[in-house]
Chain A
Amino acid sequence: MQDTLINIHNLSKHYSIGGGQFSALKNVDLKINAGDFMGLVGPSGSGKTTLLNVIGALDSPSEGSVEVLKLKIENISAKQAAKLRKEKLGFIFQTYNLLPVYNVYENIEFPLLLLQLSSTQRKDLVMQALEWVGLLDKVKSKPAQLSGGECQRVAIARAMVKKPQVVLADEPTANLDARNSHNILQTMEKLNQLLGTTFIFATHDAKVIGYLKRKVTLIDGRVEEDITLPPRGPQC
């Protein structure tokens, strides 16, 4: 029996728009287990990113309950939410969001600075993360000197360097070509298997869906389908 890391019960999220109210999520029930490699799939506006942000404690539920790593998101303070993100969660974004003035090493090192690790510990962890993503030769490069695929691999290394329990990836392949998309998806799949990290994607990219072990389809803020996908065949 796998551990449940995230338990979502009857989650709704409403926003006030003008005089009215818009519901981005409606009565979502979901359990996400340790080691999942799952995707929130659906068209634009279906609530994928909103759900990802609530799980990431960047947003709070309007109704219902969201328990992430035994913390009730609806009850925690801003400081506790920041602590959760700092210690247990990793984020990967569509636009990489690397800090342009810092080099690859410093970008990856940043989350470790917040954890107040020693410089030796930081160095070991950064080098390990660089090895995972195959960028040991780009340590001193600035983001502007990297390709899109390399930037996203730096972003993966940054998310993974602190060995979080859950990684939240919002459309991680949207800005990448097919080759680079497969490349980074294989990297994340490898890390999922190697470290047992839970990956949650928000995507509508078929390439990403091809790698998922579990697919949760969202339509208009509701869970329409939650299926386990068969393992992929051997890669050429």
Chain B
Amino acid sequence: MIKFILKGLIYDRQRSWFPIIVIALGVMLTTLLYCYMQGVSSDMVDINAKIDTGHVKIMTHEYAKIASQVPNDLAIWDLSKFLNKIKKEYPIDWVARIKFGGLLDIPDDKRETKAQSTVFGMAFDLLSKNTTEIDRLKLKLAIVRGRLPQNPGEIVISEKLANSLQIKLGEAATLISSTSTGNMAVHNFLIVGTTHFGISNLDRNIIIADISDIQYALDMEDAASELLGFLPTGFNKAKALKIKSNFNSPQMTMLTLADQNGLGEYLDLIGIKLSIIISVFVLAMSIVLWNTGLMSGIRRYGEIGLRLAIGESKEELYLSMILEAILVGIIGSLIGTVLGLLAAYYLQEVGIDTSELLKGSKMLMSTTIRAKITTTSYFIGFVPGILSMLFGTMIAGVGIFKRETASLFYELDV
């Protein structure tokens, strides 16, 4: 009987092709949309984690209250001691960071100001032998010209800033800022490279320096603005919450990634959006396929009547329709999933450049939007594709199943 049904599907293009095309399209769009949303959300989460939030972050209570103002006078002091303690208690990767603001002054040959700009600075551990920061932030890939700092007193700045200030590599630059005690800080650096991250906020007026240089420049010896902790397998809400709930310090605050920058709400929202998209997909496809099932039923009225007359029971008839629907659903869903994954793979590898759109954006997100294929991508459209065809056929077939054989036979006009 399965062979008979398969033959029918192959021979009768109207019975199979239209539903297969509808399902394949729907599944493809769902898969692609899911991968796209995964790409955007995980990209955003990943960037935020690496640059700003960590998977967990420790600050002093007072710093945390006004963190957006970068109040380095409220930073974590006795850093080495605290870092050793925290590493023992929570054996994940911990790194110290300093954020700072200031004025970058470029002098000419006569030591007069040639160019000047306000800058936002980030200090990472760039010079230690075992630093993980260069790889984590993909700093080598971000270098446009020159190189990363290899010696104390060297900095890199964003390519955009370098162009706007018309700076050449090897030029000196003076950072004018305030120390952690509120005094004026003036420190000279050598510009050894320029960067472009493809992340709107990091490609503006940014300078990147080694943390020990900035500790020295801002009178923050053995201090850091924040401590960022990174889980070995990426962000996991439950694991991060467990660390947070075990953390107990009278002076310090620990936040998870989900507590910061509205990322928790964002992740929840993505989950809700995905559920809505999948539900709408199943509903819309079920209605379309119900309609298709009805049309097919009308077209095959003679066949249905004949099969009843030949001795197929309504149950067998209904079952064969469902079997047919499952076969069509599997074929359509398979095609749709493959097409969706191919499109998602292209988006994952090549991406869409949105740098023009994000010119004024303050969000910490990549200017290249990429999809992300996860394990879920393989069945996020596949299962609803089969279900929608199944529901559509089940609803369409109810009419046949519910009617009396006799009245159905008369209606079928055999």
Contacts and interface: CB of A to CB of B under 8 A. Distances in A.
A18 to B, nearest CB: 16
Interface stretch (B7-15, B167-175, B349-357, B372-380): B7-15
Given A102-B11, A106-B7, A85 B303 contact: no
A59 B311 contact: no
Nearest to A116: B1
Nearest to B10: A101
Interface of A: 53, 56, 58-60, 78-79, 81-87, 89, 91, 93, 95, 97, 99, 101-102, 106, 110-111, 113-114, 158
B311 A97 contact: no
Nearest to B312: A114
B345 interface: no
A114 B310 CA distance: 9
Contacts of A101: 7-8, 11-12, 15
Given A101-B12, A102-B11, A91 B406 contact: no
Contacts of A106: 4, 7
Interface string B147-186: 0000000000000000000000000000000000000000
Interface string B383-406: 000000000000000000000011
A183 to B, nearest CB: 23
A97 B315 CA distance: 21
Given A53-B409, A106-B7, A83 B311 contact: yes
B39 interface: no
Contacts of A81: 405
A79 B312 CA distance: 9
Nearest to B315: A79
A85 B309 contact: yes
A64 to B, nearest CB: 16
B187 interface: no
A59 B412 CA distance: 14
Nearest first, the 6 closest Cβ-Cβ pairs linking A and B are: A86-B311, A82-B313, A59-B406, A85-B311, A101-B11, A101-B12
B356 to A, nearest CB: 54
Q: How large is the interface on B (under 10, 10 to 19, 20 to 34, 35 or more residues)?
A: 20 to 34
Contacts of A113: 1, 4
Given A60-B406, A82-B312, A102-B8, 10 more contacts: A58-B309, A78-B313, A78-B405, A82-B308, A82-B314, A86-B312, A91-B306, A99-B303, A111-B311, A114-B312
Contacts of B8: 99, 101-102
B414 interface: yes
Interface string B93-104: 000000000000
Contacts of B4: 106, 110, 113
B7 A56 contact: no
Contacts of A59: 405-406, 409
Contact of B302 (A56, A97, A102): A97
B302 to A, nearest CB: 5
Interface string B311-323: 1111110000000
B308 A58 contact: yes
B9 to A, nearest CB: 9
Nearest to A86: B311
A99 B310 CA distance: 12
A82 B311 contact: yes
11 contacts: A53-B406, A58-B406, A78-B314, A93-B306, A93-B414, A95-B302, A97-B306, A101-B7, A102-B11, A106-B4, A113-B1
B310 A110 contact: yes
A58 B405 contact: yes
Nearest to A87: B311
- Best-surrounded residue of A53, A95, A99 (most CB of chain B within 10 A): A99
A91 B406 CA distance: 15
B229 interface: no
B307 to A, nearest CB: 8
Contacts of B1: 113
Given A60-B406, A102-B11, A113-B4, A97 B312 contact: no
